[in-house]
């Protein structure tokens, strides 16, 4: 798969094929993922497994999972990130394979005798792995089993110069997905969150450097290795960019020239260039001046969800994107104005909902109400403010009197907060 970045955000594409999903520079997808509650993911996968195999002895129970069992597990991915709409099946395979291997590693390790002896042969592995899938359909389950058997072998019998894949013990379902969420949250907090203590005065590149010093890897282990392809025109388009064509008779035969053919030696001087080609070049320059141009194509080959997330954060760093957690919904949002505390998400995102208020519509009031609950002197002050204000309308108090009362009340509130005036006395004074 390819991730293609441009000035609007990025798209996630099949190689040579259509775009699966697009993300704007609001970064909604990644922020939704970071705010998703994954706490019951491990037990859902463990529950699925334990119906099919005994988690201690690894013997099959005889239970055959149904398609519903399988896709109930898959439905965990609903709404956590657009990536899963296209890659959900792969991610589910990977969660199953990873957890199965971790169980095997755990069972191969005798903690009493400190002996490590992998005991599972390929035949047993294949049969047991395949039993984790529903019987019909899933024609690729043998391939999947082979793939994860290979990983398993790498872990138990690594080549000398190969680092074994990492397995977290005790086994946890969806361990990788949970750790992705944690790693990416950490990167964003360290580098992009405007409210992170200690780091506020630094620029984003400076913060990235602080992050790097703290999270130093071993010398030959970069934080990310990925293939990037760069093109000056759309590498997936099969059309010529210019309709230019010129025929010439050379030795009695007709030869066709394209714009590239005619301008091939342009960098060596223009005197031998055909005038029609120079005219075409000029018209290309004109159209670019008018805004008809494409950016440099930067595409990354990606093979995992983590790569997608990492590259998105990397581009946020390049773009100097500052983020903040919304005070109402708690999700990150991109901040353009540092004074903004609330995001513009709908408080009720249900499509059928008629409520189109956003966090910034309701947030400040809710925040004030919450503060009132936590701040008792403020709560009493607020109540008294309302009764005194009402006295203006009923004629019991003049505006001037109210103004003086308000001033004194505010001063007394600050004194109570600073513990220089008794709260009980303040309450009595407010009731006057």
Q: Under the criterion CB under 5 A, does residue 34 sit at the interface with Zn ion? A: no
**Residue nearer to Zn ion on the CB measure, 327 or 406:** 327
Question: Can you tell me the distance from the alpha carbon of 402 to that of 290, in angstroms, rounded to the nearest whole number?
Answer: 63
DSSP assigned state of 2: E
Tokens of 140: 């690729």
Question: What separation, in Å, do the N-terminal and C-terminal C-alpha atoms of the chain show?
Answer: 72
Nearest-CA neighbor of 384 among 412, 362, 365, 364?
Answer: 412
The DSSP letter of residue 66 is: -
Size of the site for Zn ion (CB under 5 A): 6
Does the protein bind Zn ion through residue 323 (CB under 5 A)? no
> In 266-398, where does DSSP find H-type helix?
275-289, 305-318, 359-374, 376-393
d(CA 266, CA 146): 55
**Segment 215 to 274, residues that bind Zn ion, using CB under 5 A:** none
> How many residues are recorded in the chain?
432
Closest by CA to 59, choosing from 160, 115, 127, is 127
**Residue 341 CB, nearest distance to Zn ion (Å)?**
9
If the CB atoms of residues 221 and 336 are measured against Zn ion, the closer one turns out to be: 336
Task: Copy the structure tokens of residue 202.
Answer: 């630094």
Q: Interface with Zn ion includes 80 (CB under 5 A)?
A: no
In the complex, minimum distance from the CB of residue 29 to Zn ion, in angstroms, rounded to a whole number: 16
Q: Contact region for Zn ion (CB under 5 A) — 9-17, 246-254, 341-349, 377-385?
A: 341-349
- Shortest distance, position 163 Cβ to Zn ion, whole Å: 42
Identify which of residues 28 and 98 has a Cβ nearer to Zn ion in the complex. Answer: 28
Decide: is 360 part of the binding site for Zn ion (CB under 5 A).
no
Q: Which is nearer to Zn ion, 212 or 330 (CB)?
A: 330
Report d(CA 66, CA 134) in Å as an integer: 5
Stretch near Zn ion under the rule CB under 5 A, chosen from 41-49, 65-73, 105-113, 354-362: 354-362
Shortest Å distance, C-beta 31 to Zn ion:
10
Binding mask 158-187 for Zn ion (x = CB under 5 A): ------------------------------
Choose which of 101, 172, 321, 328 interacts with Zn ion (CB under 5 A). Answer: 328
Residue 350 to residue 3: CA distance in whole angstroms: 29
Residue 334 interacting with Zn ion (CB under 5 A): no
- Residue of 329, 409, 413, 430 interacting with Zn ion (CB under 5 A): 329
Provide the minimum distance between the beta carbon of 334 and Zn ion in the complex, in angstroms, as a whole number. 12
Looking at the Cβ atoms of 345 and 412, the one nearer to Zn ion is: 345
Cα separation, 398 vs 309, in Å, equals: 61
Binding residue for Zn ion (CB under 5 A) from 1, 313, 326, 413?
326
Among 359, 384, 413, 430, binds Zn ion (CB under 5 A): 359
Whole-angstrom distance, CA of residue 36 vs CA of residue 76: 11
Please report which helix (H) or strand (E) contains residue 329, including its range: none
C-alpha atoms less than 13 angstroms from C-alpha of 36 in its C-beta half-sphere: 23
Task: Name the minimum Å distance from CB 412 to Zn ion.
Answer: 35
CB 263 within 8 A of CB 348: no
Contact stretch for Zn ion (CB under 5 A) within 8-16, 259-267, 287-295, 323-331: 323-331
Q: Yes or no: say if 72 and 134 are a contact pair by the CB < 8 Å rule.
A: no
Q: Which stretch binds Zn ion (CB under 5 A): 14-22, 188-196, 329-337, 368-376?
A: 329-337
Which of 343, 384, 409, 416 contacts Zn ion by CB under 5 A?
Answer: 343
Name the helix (H) or strand (E) containing 33: helix 28-35
Token pair for 128 = 């047991």
Question: How near is the Cβ of 23 to Zn ion at its closest, in Å?
Answer: 18
Contacting positions for Zn ion (CB under 5 A): 326, 328-329, 343, 345, 359
């Amino acid at each position: 798969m390819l991730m293609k970045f441009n000035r609007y955000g990025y798209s996630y594409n099949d190689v040579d094929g259509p775009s699966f999903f697009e993300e704007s520079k609001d970064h909604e997808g990644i922020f939704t993922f970071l705010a998703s509650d994954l706490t019951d993911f491990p037990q859902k996968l463990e529950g699925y497994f334990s119906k099919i195999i005994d988690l201690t002895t690894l013997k099959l129970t005889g239970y055959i999972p149904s398609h519903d069992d399988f896709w109930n597990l898959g439905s965990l991915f609903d709404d956590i990130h657009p990536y899963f709409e296209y890659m959900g099946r792969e991610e589910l395979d990977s969660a199953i394979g990873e957890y199965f291997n971790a169980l095997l590693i755990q069972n191969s390790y005798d903690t009493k005798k400190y002996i490590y002896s992998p005991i599972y042969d390929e035949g047993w592995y294949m049969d047991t792995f395949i039993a984790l899938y529903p019987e019909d359909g899933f024609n690729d389950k043998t391939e999947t089993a082979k793939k994860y058997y290979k990983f398993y072998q790498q872990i138990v019998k690594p080549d000398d110069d190969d680092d074994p894949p990492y397995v977290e013990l005790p086994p946890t379902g969806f361990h990788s997905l949970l750790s992705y969420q944690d790693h990416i949250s950490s990167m964003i907090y360290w580098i992009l969150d405007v409210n992170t203590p200690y780091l506020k005065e630094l620029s984003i590149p400076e913060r990235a450097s602080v992050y790097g010093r703290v999270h130093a890897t071993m010398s030959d282990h970069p934080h990310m290795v990925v293939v990037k392809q760069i093109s000056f025109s759309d590498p997936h388009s099969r059309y010529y960019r210019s309709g230019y064509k010129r025929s010439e008779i050379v030795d009695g035969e007709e030869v066709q020239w394209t714009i590239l053919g005619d301008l091939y030696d342009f960098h060596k001087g223009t005197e031998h260039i055909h005038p029609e080609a120079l005219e075409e070049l000029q018209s290309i320059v004109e159209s670019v001046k008018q805004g008809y141009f494409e950016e440099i194509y930067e595409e990354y080959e990606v093979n995992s969800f983590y790569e997608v997330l990492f590259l998105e954060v990397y581009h946020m760093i390049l773009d100097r994107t500052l983020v903040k957690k919304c005070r109402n919904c708690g999700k990150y949002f991109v901040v353009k104005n540092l004074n903004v505390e609330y995001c513009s998400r709908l408080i009720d995102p249900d499509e059928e909902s008629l409520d189109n208020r956003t966090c910034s519509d309701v947030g400040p009031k809710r925040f004030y109400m919450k503060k009132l609950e936590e701040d008792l002197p403020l709560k009493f002050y607020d109540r008294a403010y309302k009764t005194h204000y009402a006295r203006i309308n009923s004629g019991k108090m003049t505006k001037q009197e109210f103004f003086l009362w308000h001033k004194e009340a505010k001063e007394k509130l600050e004194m109570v907060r600073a513990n220089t005036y008794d709260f009980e006395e303040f309450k009595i004074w407010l009731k006057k």
